[in-house]
Every structure is written in structure tokens, then in C-alpha cells.
Structure 1
Amino acid sequence: MVSIKRTPSLAEALLPIACLIVLLTVNVFVFEDTLAGSNQIALLLAATIAGIIVRRNGQKWEQTHKQVVKTIGSAMPSMLILLLIGSLAGTWMISGIVPAMIYYGLDIINPNLFLVTAVIVSALVSVATGSSWSTIATIGVALLGIGKAIGFSEPIVAGAIISGAYFGDKVSPLSDTTNLAPAMAGTDLFTHIQYMFFTTIPSLLITLVLFLIIGFNYEFQSSITDIELVKVAIEQIFNTTPWLFLVPILLFGIIIMKVPPVPSLMIGTLLGGAFAVLFQPELIREVAGSGMSYTKAAYVSFMQAMFGDISLSTQNENVNHLLSTSGMRGMLDTIWLILSAMVFGGIMEAGGLLSRITRPIMKMAKSTGALVSSTVGTCIFFNATASDQYLAIVVPGRMYRKAYEERGLKPEVLSRTLEDSGTMTSVLIPWNTCGATQSRVLGVATFDYLPYCFFNLLSPIMSILFAYLNIKIRRLVKPSEEAERENATV
């Protein structure tokens, strides 16, 4: 008997998503740490439901399996980067690089202006490197430590760091998403970047004003004495010297030279280990344990920092929290989450369930504002269901490109919308590769920092607002209009 493949109904397409939302909601109330396994199982259970629907509609398992493997393969670079971020965090800790950033940062940063400074510094580094991930894993971790020492709550600081880092990721010509969006829409890179500034600059200015207001009205939990105690605690363990800043400077230089992220992060990890051996001999022996030669102790501590837990003890509990890392091992739950999300997204895409949901949305878009709103909603939808920012740019880009052309809109209108929504909202979804990664790197739950990611929240709103108000919406010149212009010129 030959099975006939049929198109899924809207109810069938929505059922796995509805089940996923219910399970994720229940997990929030039942489990303290949803990243430890409950959300992963929720995604796999929802994927199972999707798989049953897809098979019932006549698609062979081999086809579905092939798409799932392809989807997981697309996330492999992210998972490798995540592992290397864990190892880099470990070697940068035992070398004293991150503690030195915190130590000197406490001297030069004004507490009231700290949040604004965090946005600007993260933005500058991200523009230079083209990577929000590298920015957050390096300077972002140090800024979080400084903010905590000053007395800010972690979610607020994380929101400032992410806002700045994603500004750079959005406008840097070195960023992968900044190159991907115009490629999907059919425009060139620099036209795309220039056009984005119309919505990006207002979003950034509002973000800076909001963080400025928070900074000047915040009731700090730490005093000047507390800050000095943090510095003393760091001095007791680490040899803090400006020479340690050579490593981040070299790493940022390597990234600017367009060396791919995986080798860049590995170089940064190895440099961190080398500087630990050179500048922190006493700490090396403490981490490795007594009774070893220095050579063996250096090897043991370097390996431990890369793959496992490092927890340094002082008399200051706040500092103890700052000086702990989990290496690659600490990233395994996040990688598990990414794998589960890719399975769910792969099955949903393979069975045509995602396209079935988005099809009626496109039909309802009658005006420019509605079309841009639909694109924003679709990008957010793919970030939440496919769990990957690249899919949230590529699939809506393919879907809406012709619709924008038929509406007489230039391709940069689409590319800007893809970036404002696909890139910006990925970090706001806990099970998305970006949200899961930044939550783990910063040690702050996604839903905790989400309300303070002002830039990320404002970007899609600004894109929709400009479309409805018809502000800076570029349109294709019709042949008749072009002929009139030529005649007028003659």
C-alpha cells in the first residue's frame, strides 16, 4: 500500500507548539533549574508529537530524520563555540585576566554611569569583533562582575551587556547575521547597514536614556568599603597586573583580522593558560593540589580550568561567586538544550508544519505596516520554534522576499526587518541557541534579564513603527516613474 503525503491542517501544525508551551510553563513552576533537563525533555516530547503528526500525514521517517540531522548539523558551530567559551572562561579566570578587569574596572567606572558604560563598551567591542557571543563571554563576564561588586542586580547588568553586544552584532560588517540578512533579502551589505541606522540609532538612544535613569535612581547595596573589600579579596589570590590585558587585546585583534570564531577562541584559551603559568604560580599549585612538580601542577590546573569546575575561596562570599567557573562541563546542559531544540525544529520544518502556520499570516498582510509586522512576528515565531537565529532570518527571508517586491518595497526594507526581529529576539528565548548560551555564560536566567534588554525589545517595535508611519520606507521606482525622471532631466 502506497502512503499519500497530505498537507497538515492548521490545528495539526499548532498542536506540537501548544504542547510545548504548556510543558515549558509547567516546568517554570515545578523545577528550580529548567535548564538542567526539564526543558530539554519538553522539547523532545513536543518533537515526538510533531513526528507522529508528520508520519500520520504520509511522510517517511527517513525524510524527517534527514532533515533533523541537517538541522542539528547547522547548530554544530554554535555548540563548538559554546564549549570553547567554557574553556576560555576557565583559563581567563585562573590566569587572573577576568579578575584584573574587575579589579581595575572598579577604580575607573562611575557607579551611576556604569550601566551606560556597559552598553557602550559592549557595543564597541562587538562592532570591532562582529560577535555578540565573543563579546559577552569576555568583556561581558568582566562587566557583570564589576556590576555585582558595585551593587547592581545581575539581570539589570546582563540586560545592559546584551543590549550593547547585540548592537554591535547587528551593525558590524564582520557579523554573520549582518551578512546573512541582506543576502536573503537581495541587497548589498553596506546598503543594509546604512539603512538599519534609521531604526537602530533611536533604539540605542532610548536604551541609553533608560539605563541612565536606572543608574541615577538605583539604591546600591554595596558601599565604597564593600568595593574595597572586593579588591582586597582579589589581591589576596591573584597577581593583578596590566600585563594581563595583553591577552584580550591580542584576541580582539585576531577576531578583527577575520580569523573564524573556533580557532580564535582556542587561541584565547591557550593564551589564558600560558599567562596563568607565568603570572599565577601560587594559584596554579592551589588548584592542582600539593605534592606535584610545578610542571605537572601547571598541566593539571590548565586541563581542569578547560574542562571542569574551578572554585576559588576567599573570605568574601560575593567574590567567591565571581571566581568560579565550570569550563566545558558547565556548557553541557546548554548543548543538550540546543540539540533538543534542533530536533523539534527539524521535525516541524521537515513535515511542513512551520510553513503551514506562517502561510495564513502572509495572506493577511494588506499594508506595508502589516507586512513588516507579519515579518517580525514570523521571525520571532521561528526563533521560538526552530530555536535558531539563522533559521529565523533565512526562512522568513525566503518567504517574504517576493511579497516585498510585489508591494514595491526595496530589499533593504526586508533585510532591516529580518535583522531587527530575527537577530534581536533570539537572545530573549530560553531554548533558542542564543538565549540558552548567553544565559549560561552570564549565569542569569533568560526571563530574568529579558525585561532589561531594552535594545533587543525596542528594535522590532521600532521597525513596525517606522513601517506604519511610513518613515524612511524605501520603494522601488516603477518604470513609468523612471521614464518621467529621465524626461525631466533631458
Structure 2
Amino acid sequence: MLLSAFIIANTITVLYLLQKGHPLERLLQIAWKALKECSSLFAIIILMGATISVWLSSGIVPSLIYYGFGYLEGINLVLAAFLCTMIISYVMGTACGTLSTIGIALLGIGKGLMIPAPVLLGAIVSGSFIADKIAPISSLTNLTIQITGTSYKEYIKSSIKTLIPSIALSAIIYFILGNSYGGATDLSMIQEYRSFIGGSFVISPFLLLFPVFVVILAFSGIKTVYNMSLSVGAASLITLFVQKENLASMIKSVLWGYKANTGMAQLDSLISGGGAIPMIEVVLIVMGSITLSSFFEEADLLKPMTDYFYKKDDKAFALIAKTSLLSILLNIVTCDQTVGILIPAKFGADRFDEAGLDRHILARTISDTGTIIAPLLPWNVNALIIYGITGISAVGYGPYGVFCYICPLMTILSGALPARKDIAALPQADKEEHIVL
């Protein structure tokens, strides 16, 4: 449905531009240039699907779940769900992938503790969507970095300033919520999950080092495409030689998604998914969003909106607040995070440069707002996916997705003390590089 909407929107926009005298050849050049600039992003999205598959088939994600369940006895499950999904989503690089694996398992355990599913799901959603904000292999993280012209290393340094306080405040709230529900952890359910996982995979603590290695490579400055390609290749070898999968099955999993066969239907649904081919639709949606924003820019259709938001005398706080609001509004209107990243990044970049604010602040502002609020909107594609996975709508879990509220507020408040970069003092070559998208 979302892909169809972008196709229709692009078609209408092109017809409008043709009527206004814009040559078709010029429009095709604009679209091609925009898509070419984001070509590495499309590869990352495809690799993300492949990564989820091989991390499941290789036993990496099952090992995370297996050992994670071993520490659930006697703890605050609401807080643990937030922290656990936060860590796993950072490693996996996908919010929905985390929700559909460890998230579903945690919801099942929560039922045994009589914890209301919307409360627990709110904590799970909060932790899972940290992936879309900062995970090194997340398609949205890489889109934000690429379109704002910054690096992951600089971006993560900047993001920590709002991320750590947001996580701390969210953890306090989830600790209080979790303490409201008594009862001991349902150890029989945990043991059943662990038993079937252990019987279906070679489980080893050494597999837990693999995600750590991927994160280290990301912080070392290795390009995401190379990092993810190495990840898929290495995990594929683990699938073949450790889990003893045959080559044909592994290739099928990489392309179409992994299908678990543990003998426990509920568990099979938790640790199945991924695939490069299912991600093609995501690529097409992102392509549609990119070309549409480029056509809007060519026709100056968005200029009145951005001119309304941005003024020449805007100071740092106003720029950050207005960019946050623009990103949120675009996410609300378009039902997707992509436009809420692309348009504020393109139209806000020059304003941030003129104000002496570095691009990583722009990237952080967008990811803290438009990207993070997505699961709170019932009509957003992410909320619809969550509903399909859990049967719980955003109206139910939304009030408990506290991180998704705190993070936008934190980034707006951070505008009072932004980090600045003296652009005027840079050499001309560096200055030009700094302002190019």
C-alpha cells in the first residue's frame, strides 16, 4: 500500500512538472542523480535482510535469546525487556526484527507473570526502536548519516549526549512500572524456550562475540556495506560449519528468509524471518521517497513550508526545535520515517551550516524526533507492522513507549547548549565538503 502511494505521488508530481514546462529528460536526470547518491543505502537495506537471516540460521540470535533468558529469574521484567531489546536491536540493526524475535518471546513470558501486554510491549518498542536511531547496520541510521553528510563516528558521539539521559529516564520509569507487578518469573516457560533452542542449534558463548566484532568494525570506521558484507559472509560460514546447514538451505535462507524448525511452533515463529528478496519492497519505498523529495525540490513545492519553518535570524535552539517539528510532522503526514529524514536533512543543512552547527547535530535532531516517534502513530507503517506481529495497536502500547516521548524532548532541550563548529575557520576545501549533502 505504501509503495503504491509513492508510485501515485511520483506520477502526479511528474505530470504536474511536465505541465509546468520541466523537460522529461531533466526530471529523469534529477531522479537518477538522487538515486545514485543513495545507491549504497539500497545495498545496505538488502544486506540487512540477509544479515537477519544468517544471524538466525547461524545461531547468533538464538544464542542471545538462550543466554538472555538465563538471567530473567527474580528481575523486573518490564525494565529487563527495555534494556534487553535495546542491546539486541543495536546489534541486529532492525526494530521490527527485534520485536519479531526477542520481543515476542518476552511478551510470552510476561503473560506468565500477569503483566499487561500493552505495558510490556511499550517497553519492548522503546528498546527496539533504538536500532533505527543508532544501530550501525540500520538502514535508517545510514540514511540519516548519508543524507546529512556526516560519519557514524561523529554521529554516535553527538547522539550519546541525548541518548544516555533518555535511556536513564526511561529506565527509571520502567523500573517503577515493573515494580507495580508482583509474582515470580515463569521459569517453566523460560526453560521450555531454552530447551528447544538448545536442541535445535549449537549454542555457544563464542557466538556472542560475533555481534561485538561487528560493532567494533563500525566504530573503527569500516564502511557499513563492507561491514555488513563481512557479517553475512562470516555468519554464513558459521551456518555451514557450526550449525551444519547444507549450502542450498543457507542460500535459500539468505534470499527468502530463515524458517526455523525447532519442533515448537511458537518458537519457530519467533526465530524466523529476514531475507534479501523481501527487502526489495523496502528499497522501492525508499527510492520512491527519494525521487519524490527530489521532484519537490526541483519544483520548489516544499520551499514555502521550509521558508515558513526557517528564518534567516534563527538561532541554534530555534533551528533544532523547528527541524524536530518538521521531521515529526512529515512522519505524521507520510506514515513513513524516510521522508521525515530526507526533507529536513536537505532543507535544514544550509541553515545549520550558516548557524555554525555541525551536520552531526542535524542528524541527531532528525533521528531523535521523526525517526523515534514512528511506532507511536497508529497509521504509521511501523505501528501497523507491530500490530500485525503482536495484535496490539499503538493506541494500546503507545502510552508506555516512554523512550519515544523522552528522546524528542531531550534533543529539543539540548538546543540550549549545542556543540558548534567554526565553519569560517575551515580551509575552503573542507568548508565545501562540510556543506555538500
Same fold (TM over 0.5): yes
Q: CA deviation at 1:179?
A: 9.2
Give the structure 2 partner of residue 75 of structure 1: 38
Give the structure 1 partner of residue 130 of structure 2: 163
Q: Is the 8 A contact 2:48 2:228 kept in 1?
A: yes
SS at match of 2:302: helix
TM-score normalised according to structure 2 size: 0.73
Alignment of 1:17-96 (within 5 A): 38-96=1-59
TM-score normalised according to structure 1 size: 0.66
Instruction: Give a deviation string over 1:330-352, Cα, whole Å, max 9, x none.
Output: 22222232222223222212211
Gaps of 5+ in 1: 1-37, 285-297, 405-409, 478-490
Q: CA deviation at 1:321?
A: 0.7
Q: Higher mean Cα deviation, 155-164 or 40-49?
A: 155-164
Return the alpha-carbon distance in structure 2 between the equivalents of residues 279 and 380 of structure 1.
45
Q: Judging changes above 3 Å, is the alpha-carbon distance between structure 1 residues 111 and 134 closer, same or farther for their aligned structure 2 residues?
A: farther
Q: Is the 8 A contact 1:389 1:422 kept in 2?
A: yes
Q: CA deviation at 1:263?
A: 2.0
AA in 2 matched with 1:147 = L
Q: CA deviation at 1:201?
A: 4.3
Gaps of 5+ in 2: 111-116, 423-437
Q: Among 46, 65, 81, which residue is 1:102 paired with? A: 65
Q: Is the 8 A contact 1:124 1:168 kept in 2?
A: no
Return the alpha-carbon distance in structure 2 between the equivalents of residues 197 and 243 of structure 1.
28
Instruction: Give a deviation string over 1:90-149, Cα, whole Å, max 9, x none.
Output: 2222222211211111002457545545655676789xxxx7873759988764365245
Q: Is the 8 A contact 2:254 2:276 kept in 1?
A: yes
Instruction: Give a deviation string over 1:63-96, Cα, whole Å, max 9, x none.
Output: 2222222222333322211211222222222222
Q: How much is the aligned-residue C-alpha RMSD, in angstroms?
A: 4.4
Give the structure 2 partner of residue 396 of structure 1: 348
SS at match of 1:300: helix
Alignment of 1:105-184 (within 5 A): 105-109=68-72, 112-114=75-77, 116-117=79-80, 120=83, 134=93, 143-144=102-103, 146-151=105-110, 156-163=123-130, 166=133
Q: Among 220, 229, 232, which residue is 1:266 paired with? A: 229
Q: Is the 8 A contact 1:79 1:335 kept in 2?
A: yes
Give the structure 1 partner of residue 434 of structure 2: none
Q: Among 317, 323, 336, which residue is 2:271 paired with? A: 323
Instruction: Give a deviation string over 1:28-47, Cα, whole Å, max 9, x none.
Output: xxxxxxxxxx1111122122
Q: Judging changes above 3 Å, is the alpha-carbon distance between structure 1 residues 164 and 365 closer, same or farther for their aligned structure 2 residues?
A: same
Q: Is the 8 A contact 1:40 1:340 kept in 2?
A: yes
Return the alpha-carbon distance in structure 2 between the equivalents of residues 442 and 265 of structure 1.
29
Return the alpha-carbon distance in structure 2 between the equivalents of residues 447 and 355 of structure 1.
35
Return the alpha-carbon distance in structure 2 between the equivalents of residues 447 and 350 of structure 1.
38
Give the structure 1 partner of residue 357 of structure 2: 411
| Rg comparison, structure with higher value | 1
Return the alpha-carbon distance in structure 1 between the equivalents of residues 36 and 381 of structure 2.
18
Q: Judging changes above 3 Å, is the alpha-carbon distance between structure 1 residues 272 and 78 closer, same or farther for their aligned structure 2 residues?
A: same
Q: Is the 8 A contact 1:84 1:266 kept in 2?
A: yes
Return the alpha-carbon distance in structure 1 between the equivalents of residues 229 and 388 of structure 2.
22
Q: Judging changes above 3 Å, is the alpha-carbon distance between structure 1 residues 85 and 167 closer, same or farther for their aligned structure 2 residues?
A: closer
**Could you tell me the percent identity over the aligned residues?**
18
Q: Among 238, 246, 252, which residue is 1:304 paired with? A: 252
Return the alpha-carbon distance in structure 1 between the equivalents of residues 326 and 173 of structure 2.
28
SS at match of 2:240: helix
Return the alpha-carbon distance in structure 2 between the equivalents of residues 276 and 370 of structure 1.
51
Return the alpha-carbon distance in structure 1 between the equivalents of residues 135 and 50 of structure 2.
24
Q: Among 457, 468, 476, which residue is 2:405 paired with? A: 457
SS at match of 1:59: coil
Q: CA deviation at 1:379?
A: 3.5
Q: Is the 8 A contact 1:149 1:222 kept in 2?
A: no
Instruction: Give a deviation string over 1:393-432, Cα, whole Å, max 9, x none.
Output: 2421214543x4xxxxx536x86365223554225448xx
Give the structure 1 partner of residue 217 of structure 2: 254
Q: CA deviation at 1:442?
A: 12
Q: Is the 8 A contact 2:74 2:184 kept in 1?
A: no
Aligned positions, number: 398
Q: Judging changes above 3 Å, is the alpha-carbon distance between structure 1 residues 373 and 235 closer, same or farther for their aligned structure 2 residues?
A: closer
Give the structure 2 partner of residue 375 of structure 1: 323
Instruction: Give a deviation string over 1:451-479, Cα, whole Å, max 9, x none.
Output: 65543433332344466xxx5368999xx
Q: Judging changes above 3 Å, is the alpha-carbon distance between structure 1 residues 340 and 133 closer, same or farther for their aligned structure 2 residues?
A: farther
Q: Among 364, 370, 373, which residue is 1:425 paired with? A: 370
Q: Is the 8 A contact 2:78 2:175 kept in 1?
A: yes
